[in-house]
Every structure is written in structure tokens, then in C-alpha cells.
Amino acid sequence: MSATSLSHPGTIVPVNFRAPLPLLPMNLEKITSLKESTQNSNSSRSRRLPAVLLPVGLLIAFVAVFGLMFGSRLLPATEVTTASVIALRLNPDQSTNQKPGNKVESDRTTVLFQSSGWIEPDPYIINVPALINGVVDEVFTLEGQHVEKGDTLATLIDDDALLDVEHATKAIATLDAMKIAHCAQLPVLNAEMQGVQKQIEAARALHAELLDAATRLASVPSGSVSALAVRQAQLKVDAQKAVIDEATANLAGVIAKINKVNLEKISVNAEISAAQTELARKNLALERTIIRSPINGIVLHLHAEPGKKRMLTSDDPKSANIVELYDPEKLQARIDVPLSEAASLQIGQAVSITTDLLPDTRFAGEVTRIMGEADLQRNTLQAKVRLHEPDTRLRPEMLVRAAFHPSGGSGNTAAQKGGTAQRLTLFVPANSLFERSQESARVWSADRGRARLRTLILGPEKREGYIQVIEGLKPGDQVVLPPFDGLKENQRIKSSPSR
């Protein structure tokens, strides 16, 4: 169907109109079929809904199973401190009551075992610090140099210290002058006091004379002396009494001045004493700018050089050190003994020391200390061996080889022969035990990151904080040290070896 529309005068524009769609006839069957198709589409959507929930359900189930199996590993582990079970070989007749320092007979012809170590000062390094903060001015020694006791090792810049001493000295001189000025008043005041005392004495004498005269006039019969004369005599007595009172007051004032000067003298003396103490402190600081050697020894490490600052109050433990010294006549060897051989260690045991520096020299020594804790990583027990006559050419940190000799006694004879007389014995730290009775105790052990409760049967042997275990542990086990009150069986733990 077409029509025309007038947009401008004289112009005809054609316009198209779309014909309406024809209406389809609707009956009851068509309406019913349309309703059934709608219900079928809704039912298909409801059937597709479980298919969406299936992956979600599987994911939830997987998370639940994972949580049950590995949930404890996701929680933070409890940090604990552990110590190793030590295994020692003991001789049946070896005494457990031997005390350190007891002399034992030695056999240096037989070697029980050998182990390596290194030289170190006995018993420790001597640190020589600067006792005041300052800057190094001069250094008079080098590493490896031998120094005598009292030798100057280094000096600090002392300009400030010198000025402090000068200032403190002048302060004392000022106080001394003040004291002299105060004390110079004392002779004048003492003379003034004596003059006032004499005035009082003279006034009192005149007062007594006037009082006597007035008393005489007053006692004369009436009419012999005029009343005016009697009155004048009494007035003179009163006036002289006033003079005495005035002089007495002047005397009190002079005494107060003398007491004031004496108190000021005491105060100045106290200030002088404090100034003298301060001067002594400044002199000490000046003296401490010179660092001297406290022993005869050798410089191990030099920490100072000109212009370097030395701080006594710093957090760095070596910030004030000038040098580290050691006595070459007092050396020891630090030997790491394998735990498999540690059973043969004994205080006072003879040891022979050799080093590559002097391969033809064998140094005699003896075990002075056995450390109370084993090395977890190296599986060793450390022993300190004192050298009886060390060579001056030996230096700390030199590697050495130590041969341990048996001590006298039948028990060591069995050890030399390697017979079955020796027995392997386990020891645990005494502080790791709890619920302890005479023959049993309980202990927490660390087993693959888990806490395990063990019941132990204890033996009679005790050594330096360790107790013998007969049953319940094996060599190499780790036991938990206190605190362990909150531990539970199979609890996840994080072990750190004790230091």
C-alpha cells in the first residue's frame, strides 16, 4: 500500500506502509500443546541442575579428605629444643666418681684412638679494650708481635682529655681561692667578737656601780637626798642596762657571722672534695688514652689503626677492642672426639699432640675438660687438652692430631685389648626427664617431626648432667628439653638443637 506526503510545497515524496500480519486462529488444542512444551523445557532445566552441582560436590569432598589427611601439616609446628642421646663405652670397673683434676697414671706407649683438632689459648683469649670512647691516634704493635706487660699498644687522641684535666684543675684552684677569701673574715670577726665581749664586761661593771649608787640613794632617809637625784640615778642604771643589752645583741650578730663563715668553709671544702674527685676522674680518662698490655703475650688480632673510632658503649662486642692477646706458654688443643670413641675419655688422660708445622715433635698433654654437650652435626664430643710445654712457634687455629693414651688400671687394660669388658651405655640429659622415680622416668622424643612419649628404665651412672638409660632409647635419638608441658602424643614439632 502506498501514499504520498507533502514535505515541501511542490514536492511529492512517496511513503511505504508495511501491511499488518494476519491473525492466526487459536483453538484449545494449540493452547494445550503450547503449555506442554513450556513444562517440558522447565523439566529439562531441572534435569541439567544436578550436573552443575556434581563438580562442586567432588571439590568439597576432596577438600574434606585432604584436610583429614594433611590438615595437621598445615598448622604451625611447635618449636622445641632437643638434645642427642649419647652413647659411651664404659668399663665394668671404671669409677664413675672420679673428680676432675685427679692424677691418673698414664701409658703413652699405647694409643686408644686418634682425632683431629686445633690449637687455642688456654683457657681463653685476652681482649684488651679501650676503656673510653675515642679515636685511635697511634698504634705501636702488629699481629704476631710479642709484647711485655705494661708495653704501650696504642694511644687515643687526648686533646679533649687534656682540656678536661686543665678545667678540673682550675676549678679546684677557684674553690681554694674562695675558701681563702671566706676564711680571711674569721680573724676580723674573732677580733670584733672579743671587742664586743670586753665592751659587755665594761658595761656590766659600770652597771653594777650605777646600781650600787642608786641603791644607796634610795636607802637614804627621806629628805636627805632629793627625789630628782634618786630618779636620775635609777635612769642611769636603766640606760646602762640598755647598753649591756645592745652589746649582747652585737655579740650574737658577730657569732652568727662567724658561724656562717664556718659553714661556708665546710661547703667549700665539700665542693673542693667533689672537684678533686672529678679531677681524678679526668686524669683517669687521660691515662686511659694510653692502652697498655696486661700480660706478657703475643698479639693474636689487631683491631685498631690510626683514625679508627673505638666505642665502649656500642652493641658490637668488639667495637672497643684494640688487640687480642694470648700467652704462648698457655696453650690447649680443642679436639673433636667421635662419639664412638668418647667412652674412653677421662679427665687427666694422657694425650700426645702432633702438627704439620713441627712433624718431628710430639707434645705431651692431658685432658682438662670434657664439654657437657655433644655436637649434633658432627656427632662428636669436644675435649680440651692442655699442652705441658708448648713451643713458641705454635699458633692458635693450627691443626693438630691428638693421640689419646690409656690411663693406668685394670679397666683400661681391658680397653686396650679391646675385649668384651667394655659395654655401650646410653646417656640422656637429666633435665629432659619427668615423672621420674628411682628406676624409671618418661621423656619426649622427636621422631620425624612428631612428639613421641617414651618410658625409660634408668641406670645408676651419672655424668655431668647426664643419666644412664638402660631401656627405652637408642643411640642417635633426639630428646626434647624443657619446656614441654604443652606437648601431646604425635604432635607436630620443629626441633632445634640445644647450644
pLDDT in tens, 206-229: 889 888 888 888 888 877 778 888
For residue 473, the model assigns a pLDDT of 87
361 CB-near residues (< 8 Å, 6+ apart): 354, 355, 391
**Residue ranges making up the domain that contains 36:** 22-74
What was the pLDDT predicted at 58? 78
Report whether pLDDT(420) > 60: no
CATH code for the domain of 135: 2.40.50.100
Average pLDDT of the residues in 278-289:
94
| Phi, psi dihedral angles at 488 (to 5 degrees) | -130, 155
Residue 222 resides in a domain: yes
How far apart CA 229 and CA 222 sit, in angstroms, is: 12
Name the residue with cell 649419647.
86
State whether 182 and 238 are in the same domain.
Answer: yes
* 367 and 294 housed in the same domain: no
341 lies in the same domain as 269: no
d(CA 428, CA 459): 11
* Claim to verify: residue 252 and residue 401 sit in the same structural domain: no
pLDDT at 410 over 60: no
Give the C-alpha separation, 436 to 252, whole Å.
Answer: 85
* Residue after which a domain boundary falls, among 378, 396, 420: 420
Residue 184 lies in a domain: yes
Structural domains counted in the chain: 5
Q: Does 35 have pLDDT greater than 80?
A: no
Res 390 pLDDT > 70:
yes
Q: Residues 181, 144: one domain?
A: no
Mean pLDDT of 78-97: 69
Shared domain for 448 and 383, answered yes or no, is no
Give the pLDDT band (50/70/90) at residue 104: very low
Q: Are residues 283 and 293 in the same domain?
A: no
The stretch 469-488 carries a mean pLDDT of: 85
Which positions ≥6 away from 3 have C-beta within 8 Å?
14, 15, 17
Cβ–Cβ contacts within 10 Å for residue 17, how many? 8
Provide the 8-state DSSP code for 110: S
- pLDDT tens for each residue of 307-336: 999 998 888 888 899 999 999 999 999 999
**Stretch 297-303: mean pLDDT:** 93
Comparison of pLDDT for 104 and 458, the residue scoring more: 458
Q: What is the predicted pLDDT for the residue at 67? A: 66
Q: Does residue 5 sit within a domain?
A: no
Q: What is the pLDDT of residue 39?
A: 56
Q: Is residue 232 part of a domain?
A: yes
CATH number at residue 232: 1.10.287
Mean pLDDT of the chain: 81
What pLDDT score was predicted for residue 72? 56
Q: How confident is the model at residue 77 (pLDDT cuts 50, 70, 90)?
A: confident
353 and 416 in a common domain:
yes
> Sheet of 450-463: strands edge to edge?
86-90, 423-429, 466-471, 450-463, 440-447, 478-481, 78-84, 493-497
Secondary structure of the chain: what % helix, strand, coil (to 5)? 35, 35, 30
**Domain match, 368 and 397 both:** yes
Decide: 136 and 304 in contact? Cβ < 8 Å.
yes
pLDDT of 431 over the 80 cut: yes
Based on the domain organization, do 344 and 445 belong to the same domain? no
Select the more confidently predicted residue: 156 or 207: 156
Please indicate, yes or no, if residue 170 is contained in any of the structural domains: yes
For residue 20, whether the previous peptide bond is cis, meaning omega lies within 30 degrees of 0, is: no
Q: Nearest to residue 366, comparing CAs of 333, 327, 395? A: 333
Would the pLDDT of 421 be above 50?
Answer: no
Per-residue pLDDT, 273: 93
CATH number of the domain enclosing 429? 2.40.420.20
2 within a domain of the structure (yes/no): no
Percent of the chain at pLDDT exceeding 70: 80
Residues 151 and 293 in one domain: yes
The answer on 229 and 203 residing in a single domain is yes
pLDDT band at 91 (very low <50, low <70, confident <90, very high): low
In a domain, 14, yes or no: no
